[in-house]
Amino acid sequence: MSNLQVVPSDHVTDSELFRQLDPQRIPVHIAMIMDGNGRWAELRGLPRISGHREGLSALREVLDTCHQLGVRIVTIYAFSSENWNRPPHEIELLMNLLEEYLQRERSHFLEHRIRFFPIGQLEKLPASVSTLVHEVAEETRHFTERTLTVALSYGGRAEILDAIQRLAYDVESGTLRPSQIDESLFTRYLATDGLPDPDLLIRTSGETRISNFLLWQIAYTELYFTKTLWPDFRRQELMRAILDYQRRERRFGRVSHSLSRQSPS
Ligand code: FPP
């Protein structure tokens, strides 16, 4: 599978990779499925939570690199609706980690003018976590240059169903006619309203699934799968993913740019 290959040779330096990037074609929006924390820890004989902790350190490095490269929006799958089926002890540790992360990053978001934008069924989070999530979202909501969307207790199908339900209520109450429903209106009912669709979706750890993430939004997103476990997905790995993305031609269902230039008008 071509997407599993590492783009250039493994022995290039950071600055060489940086030089290879085309600054004109940096993705605006990158979505990430940060998979493999548990396996990273198990491979080292450590408890799974150590993998999640190391995963947070990778996240910080990846977000800093995104900032440096000019990626404006990053959306991360921090906790899926299905993750509630994990052992209660692991859920509790993940929630504690999320709380710790937000306490720590709060000032970083303010200082770097990053909008923290949570999506998902936030009402299912423990009260202390949900209060903090709402507070940080509120105090950063006016920032427009950079957004960190964090999917928490999130599922793509649930998001679509929720949108359909709210559309149906609007039709029932007479504020909307069924004939007005088109793609652009539907998008406004999704949790990601206001964000452009991701240009690139990265999933680590060798799994090649979407796992109910941003189902509507990734219709034309470029997918990048790597065997690297999330805690090892650092600055260089991100640059390789972007380089791979830049080699692709995005056609959005149209014919190739070069072919269309050759064809008679
Ligand atoms: C998958 O690893 C990752 C998660 C379930 C959540 C990702 C969480 C973090 C990076 C840390 C917490 C995030 C925040 C924002 C606090 P896995 O446990 O499924 O790994 P495995 O497939 O190897 O078991």
pLDDT per position as a tens digit, 77-103: 999 999 999 999 999 999 999 999 999
Residue 1's pLDDT is: 40
- The answer to whether the CB of 34 is under 6 A from ligand 1 is yes
Identify the pLDDT of residue 258: 60
Whether residue 264 is predicted with pLDDT greater than 60 in this model: the reply is no
Per-residue confidence (pLDDT) for residue 12, from 0 to 100:
85
pTM of the model: 0.92
What residue spans define the domains of the chain? 26-155+197-247
How confident is the prediction for the chain on average, in pLDDT? 93
Residue 252: per-residue pLDDT: 78
Look at residue 39 and tell me whether its pLDDT is greater than 90.
yes
pLDDT 10s digits, 136-172? 999 999 999 999 999 999 999 999 999 999 999 999 9
Where does the pLDDT of residue 71 fall: very low under 50, low under 70, confident under 90, or very high at 90 and above?
Answer: very high
pLDDT digits (tens, 9 = 90+) for 193-250: 999 999 999 999 999 999 999 999 999 999 999 999 999 999 999 999 999 999 997 7
Pocket test for ligand 1, best of 35, 125, 132 (most atoms within 8 A of CB): 35
Q: Tell me how far the alpha carbon of residue 203 lies from the centroid of ligand 1, in angstroms.
A: 12
Rounded CA-CA distance 148/29 in Å is 10
What is the distance in A from the centroid of ligand 1 to the CA of 78? 7
Q: Provide DSSP, the chain.
A: -GGGS-SS-TT--HHHHHHHS-GGG--SEEEEE---HHHHHHHTT--HHHHHHHHHHHHHHHHHHHHHHT--EEEEEEEEGGGGGS-HHHHHHHHHHHHHHHHHHHHHHHHTTEEEEEES-GGGS-HHHHHHHHHHHHHHTT--SEEEEEEEEE-HHHHHHHHHHHHHHHHHTTSS-GGG--HHHHHHTSTTTTSPPPSEEEE-TT----TTSSTTTTTTPEEEE-SS-GGG--HHHHHHHHHHHHTS---TTS--HHHHHHS--
Q: Ligand 1 in contact with 86 (CB < 6 A)?
A: no
Top-level class of domain 26-155+197-247: alpha beta
